[in-house]
Amino acid sequence: MKTMSRGNELTIFLSGDIDHHCAREIREAADGLVHEKQPGVLKLNFADVGFMDSSGIGLIMGRYRIMQLYGGSLKVTDVPEGLRRIMELSGLNALDVLEGENQ
């Protein structure tokens, strides 16, 4: 999992498939980074994610809650169109975390 820190932003670049087999590992790593760096904004970059099931939705919602506890915010970026539809149908757009129309 690649990361980038810039100012008060921490970006986590996700890749491959996000399903119940790998979601726990991503969750634990992301939570550790948030605890360590305490960013004001956590960005989850989905540009290289090809598939996501409900575990991916849970991953996003959990990081949203953690960032709220730290007084920060979550942004989900560079989402491929197929995954964006899944996220919108799950109601994530109501949390105002999805960035851009085609990202």
In order along its 103 residues, the chain shows pLDDT tens digits of 899 999 999 999 999 999 999 999 999 999 999 999 999 999 999 999 999 999 999 999 999 999 999 999 999 999 999 999 999 999 998 999 999 764 3
Residues 7, 40: Cα–Cα separation, whole Å: 9
pTM for this predicted structure:
0.94
Instruction: Give first-to-last CA distance, the chain, whole Å.
Output: 19
What's the angle, vertex CA 57, arms to CA 56 and CA 58, rounded to 5? 90
Q: Is residue 103 part of a domain?
A: no
What is the number of domains present in the chain? 1
Q: Is residue 101 part of a domain?
A: no
Strand pairing category for 9-18 and 2-6: antiparallel
Q: Is residue 42 part of a domain?
A: yes
What 3-state class would DSSP assign to 92? helix
Range of the domain at 21: 2-95
Q: Is the dihedral of CA 25, 79, 76, 91 positive or negative?
A: negative
Cβ atoms of residues 30 and 64 within 8 Å: no
Q: Is residue 100 part of a domain?
A: no
Residue 19: which CATH number?
Answer: 3.30.750.24
Q: Is residue 102 part of a domain?
A: no
